[in-house]
Structure 1
């Protein structure tokens, strides 16, 4: 007699991680805000153990910080210097990754990054409050997929090492723009990279990626001023 296999249950710590990350993406937490574990356990109706495990994972991404004898706190807003240094690191890595990926394109790869660009376009045209989480997920898929396609494990590892900081950048800079009015510009910049890669123009694709990161840096610095002022 055939038996029906039940779907595997998601570990509670994983679920709490996704819940908390979703709250970050929805703008429910502010830079520097204290994360009261007691209050969170009551709000989310869980014990402290899975919640602490989830917070430890968030600490690894750079989104939260643990202070001795004080508990967890939302990571502070990037300083201007930190933001500049992060984007400078991306300027070193991502054009090189894009160049290598453009030399190794496949129909599947091009289809995947095109889907990410289309998602960015749809989100840019939708109300920001409803689409921002999907927008940043599509942005992450685009950049990470290029890093994977470059077929250089050392460059990819270096890029992934920036992952938590890039996530923090996404949440606390452009994410904080009131109407995300600049969302259409990154979508166009991503598409320029995609078109050059589809044409097999590795140098041009790398140049477009460099221009995209430089523009993102300028937008982020403007957004940081607005967030700091508010």
Structure 2
């Protein structure tokens, strides 16, 4: 573990939330900023010493980070940092989202409520005002607003099976891993595409909501593939 990780992690405010959540957020920041490199072994005891906590919240945090594919656990060997998705894997991920999210948007539109509209509006405002980088500390609010926008639509669909399938993908966080050191370079495009989805939902137009979500995800895929091509050079 590098001196940079030690120095930066020592400044992380672990008391802001519950200890478990704070440890999760601290390790997430290290992963997203690539202070912990893909393939690196993650020692539970070592991470606990670094953060000044017991091994239990670290173990809980790593289990949570395994779900979206940020770390991988091997029996008898422990955890390692997961590699970045390659171009084929990113395409597979976005294709899975394309199967689910346009349908979720269509269903959510048909079930629109005033509270749903207010939640969408809040997430749009949060995206507009959130920082965009280059460190995770400065773009984490944008990630959370992006996640909230898509999650709100998934919940409003009323189909718990589709929602659970969407949540299992961890799509946004894998996409945002590409922004380490440079920030959210497609923020303006993403916000404009989200606005188009929002407007269709508010206008009670399920077909247009479905179409706008499809366009957004196809554009996300194209941008992600271009960014990966630069990383893989």
Q: Same fold (TM over 0.5)?
A: yes
User: CA separation in 2, counterparts of 1:209 and 1:167?
Assistant: 14
SS in 2 for 1:30: coil
The RMSD of aligned alpha carbons is 2.2
User: CA separation in 2, counterparts of 1:154 and 1:38?
Assistant: 37
Counterpart of 2:203 in structure 1 is: 199
* Structure 2 residue corresponding to 1:169, chosen from 165, 174, 183: 174
* Structure 2 residue corresponding to 1:227, chosen from 217, 220, 231: 231
Counterpart of 1:142 in structure 2 is: 149
| Structure 1 unaligned spans of 5+ | 1-8
What TM-score comes out, normalization by structure 2 length? Answer: 0.83
Question: Higher relative CO (CA 8 A, sep ≥ 6), structure 1 or 2?
Answer: 1
Tell me the alpha carbon deviations over residues 118-140 of structure 1, each in whole angstroms, 9 at most, x when there is no partner: 2112226x554353100000000
Structure 1 residue 190 and structure 2 residue 194: aligned?
yes
Contact 1:32-1:77 at 8 Å conserved across structures: no
- Aligned pairs for 1:1-230 (under 5 A) are 12-123=19-130, 127-129=133-135, 131-163=138-170, 166-173=171-178, 175-176=179-180, 178-229=182-233
Tell me the alpha carbon deviations over residues 126-172 of structure 1, each in whole angstroms, 9 at most, x when there is no partner: 55435310000000000010011111122112212213xx1441332
Query: Structure 1 residue 177: deviation in Å?
Result: 6.6
What TM-score comes out, normalization by structure 1 length? Answer: 0.84
* Larger mean Cα displacement after TM superposition, 72-81 or 22-31: 22-31
User: CA separation in 2, counterparts of 1:136 and 1:104?
Assistant: 26
Runs of 4+ in 1 over 4 A off after TM superposition: none
